Amino acid sequence: MSKSYLGVGELIYNNRLYDKINSFDSDFSFYTELSKEAGGAVLELCCGTGRLTIPIHNAGVDITGLDYTESMLEGAREKSKGLNIPFVQGDIRSFNLNKKFNLIFIPFNSFQHMYTLSDVEQAFECIQKHLAQGGLFAFDIFNPSIDLMVHWKGKRKDVNHCILEDGRSVLIQEIMNYDEQTQCNRTKWLFNIDGVEEIAQLDMRCFYPIEIEAYLKYNGFEIVEKYGDFDKSPFVSKSMKQIFVCRVR
């Protein structure tokens, strides 16, 4: 099994493979609109290979991308050559950019890699220090489905298939096991690359609706909007997502 940082296997952070399996854009319009409305500097945390950072920059926004993993940043810098986008390595619990931002956002469920109360509090404190007066903080996470986690517990299912640039075929399957004590969905991703199987861990902390709202409240944020999808539909019990737009209280 690959070594991991914070419950995420290294293979998941292979930038070329990451781009192959994460080519969706359902969140692009939402975060682009927020970024344009911010009217100033924007910071994307957990920016990955620049899937959102680069097109948002191309839409005329002054945006900086921050990520912990150097492999992701290598991919982002390679794809953005000539665009002069700052891509910075940092931990969302402890980064210091000596700059204020009108909008800070964390897309693609990345906040679910904050596994402990301390992780959450440190990240929120760091974000507040970097927000300009009246600035907004936005992020999206899954709305945990107990039914789905029970149904798929211990079962192997296909989640993706792609062809790499060198022609190799990659089939990705997952096996989920929910850990009640830590509220983590501890998932093994099984990569079958031309018949050779490798395993990577992908732990996702589950934040239940009232719980995450309490985290925000008691760490100094007020919720401006909460949506259940990127089309800004209201959050309801069956929503797949929890999407927040907040400001410092």
Whether residue 139 is contained in a domain is answered as yes
pLDDT along the chain (249 residues), means of 10: 52 90 94 98 98 98 97 97 97 98 98 97 98 98 95 96 92 96 96 93 97 98 98 98 98
Whether residue 62 is contained in a domain is answered as yes
pLDDT of residue 23: 86
Whether residue 177 is contained in a domain is answered as no
User: Do the beta carbons of residue 223 and residue 242 sit within 8 Å?
Assistant: no
| Domain CATH number, residue 61 | 3.40.50.150
pLDDT of residue 144: 98
Whether residue 228 is contained in a domain is answered as yes
Number of domains composing the chain: 1
pTM over the 0.85 mark:
yes
pLDDT of residue 4: 34
Whether residue 238 is contained in a domain is answered as yes
Which residue has tokens 């934040």?
207
pLDDT of residue 171: 96
pLDDT of residue 78: 97
In the chain, the amino acid numbered 205 is R
Whether residue 192 is contained in a domain is answered as no
d(CA 78, CA 71): 11
Q: In the numeric block, which tokens belong to residue 182?
A: 């830590």
Whether residue 4 is contained in a domain is answered as no
Give the three-class secondary structure for 31.
helix
- Looking at residue 235, what DSSP letter applies? P
Domain of 233? 23-143+208-248
Whether residue 137 is contained in a domain is answered as yes
User: Do the beta carbons of residue 174 and residue 182 sit within 8 Å?
Assistant: no
pLDDT of residue 3: 35
Helices (H) and strands (E) in the chain, counts: 7, 13
Residue 63: which residues within 8 A CB-CB, separation 6 or more? Answer: 35, 41, 42, 43, 44, 53, 56, 57, 85
